[in-house]
Amino acid sequence: MVKTVCGFDVAIVGAGFAGLYMLHRLRGLGIPARIYEAGSGVGGTWFWNRYPGARCDVQSLEYSYSFSDELEQEWHWTERYAAQPEILRYANHVAERFDLTRDIQFETRVTGAIFDDTTDRWTIRTDRGDLIPATFCVMATGCLSTAKVPDFKGLEIFRGCRYHTGHWPHKGVDFTGQRVGVIGTGSSAIQSIPIIAGQASHLFVFQRTPNFSVPAHNGPLSPAVTRDWEMNRNEYRHRARTSRTGILHEWGTESALDVPPEERDRAYELRWQRGGLGFGAAFSDIGVNKEANDTAAEFVRAKICGIVRDRAVAEMLLPKDYPLGTKRLCVDTGYYATFNRENVTLVDVRSTPIEEITPAGVRTSTAEYAVDSLVFATGFDAMTGTLCSIDIRGRAGAALKQKWSQGPRSYLGIMVAGFPNLFTITGPGSPSVLSNMIVSIEQHVDWIADCLAFLRQHRLTAIEPTVDAENAWVAHVNEVADSTLYPRANSWYMGANIPGKPRVFMPYVGGLGVYRQKCDEVAANGYEGFTLSAPAPEADRSVDRP
Ligand code: NA7
């Protein structure tokens, strides 16, 4: 039965960290809003990704909201890198503390959104038959929310249990005594493999591309670190907001090629011992100069050879055909050492590809591996997958999916020409996945909230980027990406993990601080690059910018 729901101005899609904060900000402005969420609870990524070992690669103190002093003071993280259950508890705490749940409709998937040119309003459609009219629609759908299982022949006939890391059963899975296959060696696999190996009778890891991974050195948060954070929090938060990635790395200022090899290795060793993503920030040119990058890559390869005892296995684990960091650098706890276990077998499915899934397990071009359970750690249709899976229709019925068929096009990664009043939090063309997601989310939400307040103040009902502004931004995003090593890898940043997806570098790599400044300037200049419109029935609906 189709139900028409009325009574609010903004429909928000998704109750992850983006949707929750968006709702909170709109409440503060007195703008009625409601969230539609496919899951049965809040938390987004952290609601779905419950695989063993799931953990944030950004330190917990930094990977948390900064908008509320009270929230900051009352929440205490227990570990340097928070695990999924703790982050999910935090999301639930936020939802409860700010009384957000009463405006969230759970277990409701948004399937379509259509813009009506004559009324400047969206109608959002859900899988429960709701038709929701709203002036604005905010997509808080996340960057990695459409899980991808490769189209293997025979998938349906496998007799054992199948799991995807991004859709893990809520009650958990105990692999004790089982033969398990993990397909993929990205971040999710690298976090889960050591734990699954500890339970399984035998673990087969099917690796197509080896990844660079650095140790987390996770542990309880020390009272000294917590105290320092509490005392200097405002300064740290400010630094994060204006930094390149929203993470408080110490960025090396020298070229890796300007220091003697021993000094360079000392710098890498120091960061390896500290643990975490800061390894990739040791020198200023690791991301842009292949020769400089080679020094960091070689350091990690030597570490892998030092950890993994079997020479042939170590050799298989060495990433060689793309620069370090151009596929997401992984952070692990005991990943490489796991391959020293008797019960773990690494299978190279680059040289011997998976040909089919059989009732008993996985058959490659040279052997069949019998398993009781199969874990697909095969990633996501990143950044555009979820937005394109919703039937979004802008002006004159144009489909977003069609508009993005050659790669995403947007202005600032926030809005799309031809799709007025539709905002994409951490959309393609913004720093998003190259940054601390919570810092980027807060920046986008604040910008959107300020924009909606501005429109209300000036009695405007529609905002839309101009095609010229969008074209210029897309060209800029590409130009900056091309000045880095990123496009050299077959990464999900490039859409390369999805057959048929255009190869376009999707996030904005120019840096979060620079990007924030640009967004702020655009707003300060009366939303430069956007067309703002007043309500019908005025003949000319464009208004001069105040
Ligand atoms: P990723 O990083 O996309 O990793 C997926 C892995 O699955 C990767 O090793 C892929 O190999 C592998 N894969 C995908 N398709 C296949 C097929 N058909 N055969 C064999 N192997 C395959 O996803 P994650 O979930 O680990 O991480 C996603 C992000 O979440 C991560 O970067 C963090 O930002 C958090 P490939 O490299 O494509 O050869």
The tens-digit pLDDT sequence of the chain (546 residues) is 667 776 679 999 999 999 999 999 999 999 999 999 999 999 999 999 999 999 999 999 999 999 999 999 999 999 999 999 999 999 999 999 999 999 999 999 999 999 999 999 999 999 999 999 999 999 999 999 999 999 999 999 999 999 999 999 999 999 999 999 999 999 999 999 999 999 999 999 999 999 999 999 999 999 999 999 999 999 999 999 999 999 999 999 999 999 999 999 999 999 999 999 999 999 999 999 999 999 999 999 999 999 999 999 999 999 999 999 999 999 999 999 999 999 999 999 999 999 999 999 999 999 999 999 999 999 999 999 999 999 999 999 999 999 999 999 999 999 999 999 999 999 999 999 999 999 999 999 999 999 999 999 999 999 999 999 999 999 999 999 999 999 999 999 999 999 999 999 999 999 999 999 999 999 999 999 999 998 866 444 443 333
Q: Whose CA is nearest to atom 35 of ligand 1?
A: 187
| Rg of the chain over all Cα atoms, to the nearest angstrom | 24
User: Burial, 544: exposed, middle or buried (Cβ in 10 Å; 0-12, 13-18, 19+)?
Assistant: exposed
List Cα–Cα distances, 245 to 49, 410, 437, 509, in angstroms.
Answer: 23, 21, 9, 9
272 phi/psi in degrees, rounded to 5: -60, -40
pLDDT in the model for residue 7? 63
Place of tokens 């997601």: 437
The residue whose CA has the least distance to atom 23 of ligand 1 is: 379
| Cα gap 10→461, rounded to integer Å | 12
Q: Do the bridges between strand 161-164 and strand 373-376 make them parallel or antiparallel, or are there none, so unpaired?
A: parallel
CA-closest residue to ligand 1 atom 16:
378
Q: Which amino acid does the sequence have at 132? A: I
**Alpha helices per DSSP H over 100-222:** 187-199
Q: Is 344 helix (H, G, I), strand (E, B) or coil?
A: strand
CA 152 to ligand 1: nearest atom? 18
CA–CA separation, 509 vs 4, rounded Å?
A: 41
Asked whether 419 and 391 are in contact (CB, 8 A), the reply is: no
What six digits make up the tokens of 77?
Answer: 């993280």
Of the candidates 393, 391, 390, 402, the residue with the CA atom closest to the CA atom of residue 115: 393
> Measuring from atom 28 of ligand 1, which residue has the nearest CA?
379
Cα(241) to centroid of ligand 1, in Å? Answer: 29
| 381 CB-near residues (< 8 Å, 6+ apart) | 146, 148, 388, 389, 498, 501
Q: Is the CB of 378 under 6 A from ligand 1?
A: yes
Max CA separation in the chain (angstroms):
76
* Helix (H), strand (E) at residue 260: none
CA–CA gap between residue 422 and residue 38 (Å, rounded): 19
354 lines ligand 1 (CB under 6 A): yes
Any ligand 1 atom below 6 A from CB of 349: yes
pTM of the model: 0.97
> What Cα–Cα distance (Å) separates residue 73 from each residue in 64, 88, 241?
12, 18, 19
Q: How far is the CA of 377 from the centre of ligand 1 (A)?
A: 6
Residue closest by Cα to atom 25 of ligand 1: 379
Distance 498 CA to ligand 1 centre (A): 10
pLDDT of amino acid 425: 98
336 in ligand 1 pocket by Cβ < 6 Å?
Answer: no
* Predicted pLDDT of residue 542: 40
Give which of 52, 61, 54 is closest to 79, Cα–Cα: 61
Q: How far is the CA of 264 from the centre of ligand 1 (A)?
A: 31
Q: Is 185 in the pocket of ligand 1 (CB under 6 A)?
A: yes
Burial of 242 (0-12, 13-18, 19+ CB in 10 A): middle
Q: Show the beta-strand stretches assigned E in 176-281.
A: 179-183, 202-207, 213-215
How many angstroms separate the Cα of 307 from the Cα of each of 101, 193, 275, 380? 47, 16, 16, 30
pLDDT confidence of residue 544: 38
Torsion angle of C-alpha atoms 499, 503, 506, 509, degrees rounded to 10: 130
